[in-house]
Amino acid sequence: MAHKPKAPPTVADINVTPLVDVMLVLLIIFMVITPMLQHGFSVDMAKAANPRPMPDADKEDAVELAITRDGKVYLGTSQIHLDEITTKVKDRISSKLDKTVYVKSDARAKYGDVVKVVDNVRAAGVDSLGLETERIERRPGAVAPTVTP
């Protein structure tokens, strides 16, 4: 009579090792991709209580200028000089139907730097100019501060 080996008993536990491997790979992918999703140069924008929504500013082909705290100007992600703004913006908007340019400035940037950039953008012949800000998040039930003259 031949001896027939028996199969080991089935295990009812869940093997989480493959799940952890997949989750770590996804985490690494998201950590690498997330900084690439941001378009334009990042600045700490001024906060406003009642900003007007500008959904077109998030489009991939939007012309966006950024002014940093130390006065550097970026068109998209490349730094440009103040005297190049007019020509580069003209080149970018020449083939577009929507000739809107968005300017986002650091909250601590000098007012004079922002005015110079806006003046050079207007000299490029744009139809409209959007100044980007961040919305102030208010807690529910909070009363807005009143300004007395």
pLDDT tens readout for residues 88-140: 999 988 888 888 999 999 999 999 999 999 999 999 988 889 998 888 887 76
* Higher-scoring residue by pLDDT: 38, 42: 42
* pTM of the predicted model over 0.95: no
What is the pLDDT, as a whole number, of residue 123?
Answer: 92
Mean per-residue pLDDT, 16-29:
93
Given a cut of 70, whether residue 87 has pLDDT beyond it is: yes
What is the pLDDT, as a whole number, of residue 144?
Answer: 57
- Provide the CATH number for the domain formed by 47-135 in this structure: 3.30.420.270
Q: Output the CA angle 48-117-131, nearest 5 degrees.
A: 25
Given a cut of 90, whether residue 33 has pLDDT beyond it is: no
What is the pLDDT, as a whole number, of residue 135?
Answer: 86
Mean per-residue pLDDT, 70-95:
91
Mean per-residue pLDDT, 81-91:
92
* Higher-scoring residue by pLDDT: 148, 75: 75
Rounded CA separation 102/96 (Å) = 14
Rounded CA separation 117/89 (Å) = 11
Torsion of CA 120, 118, 113, 133, to 10 degrees: -150
